[in-house]
Amino acid sequence: MKQKFAALALALGLTLSLAACGGGNAPAGGESPAPQNSAAPQAAGAYVFTTGDGVTVSVDEDMAQVLTDLGEAQSYFEAESCAFEGLDKTYTYPGFVITTRPDGENDYVNSIRLTDDSVSTVEGVYIGSSEADVKAAYGEDGGADQGMLSYTAGGVSLNFILEDGAVISIEYLPA
Partner 1 sequence: MRKKLIFTGVLWCVLLAVALWLLNALFMPKYMSEIPEGALIAEYYNETADHDVVFIGDCEVYENFSPDVLWREYGITSYIRGSAQQLIWQSYYLMEETLKYETPKVMVFNVLSMQYGEPQSEAYNRLNLDGMRLSPQKLAAVEASMTEEESMLSYLFPLLRYHTRWSELTAEDVKYMFHRDPVSDSGYLMNVEVRPAENVPEGAPLADYQFAEVCYDYLDKMVELCENHGVELVLIKAPSLYPYWYGQWEEQMEDYAAEKGLKYINFLELIDEAGLDFSTDTYDHGLHLNLYGAEKLSHWFGSWLRENCPQVADRRGEEPYETVWNEKSEAYAQRKAQLEAAWAAEQKEEPEA
Question: CA 165 to CA 129: how far, in whole Å?
Answer: 9
Minimum CB separation of residue 165 from partner 1 in Å reads 14
**Closest separation in Å from C-beta 28 to partner 1:** 4
Q: Which is nearer to partner 1, 19 or 44 (CB)?
A: 19
- Cβ nearer to partner 1, comparing 44 with 72: 72
Nearer to partner 1, 79 or 122 (CB): 79
What contacts 141, CB < 8 A, 6 or more positions away?
none
Q: HSE-up of 145 (CA within 13 Å, CB side)? A: 10
Closest CA to 102 of 124, 79, 121, 123: 79
Instruction: Report the interface residues with partner 1, using CB under 8 A.
Output: 4, 7-8, 11-12, 15-16, 18-35, 75-80, 82-84, 90, 92, 97, 113, 145-148, 159, 161, 163, 168-169, 171
In angstroms, what is the minimal distance from the CB of 111 to partner 1? 8
Q: How far is the CB of 66 from partner 1 (least distance, A)?
A: 17
Distance (Å, whole) CA 94 – CA 107: 21
Distance CA 171, CA 88 (A): 17
Closest separation between CB of residue 150 and partner 1, Å?
9
Collect all residues with Cβ–Cβ distance below 8 Å to 101 and sequence separation of at least 6.
Answer: 36, 37, 86, 88, 107, 108, 110
Nearer to partner 1, 55 or 173 (CB): 173
Smaller CB distance to partner 1: residue 41 or 147?
Answer: 147
Per DSSP, 137 falls in state H
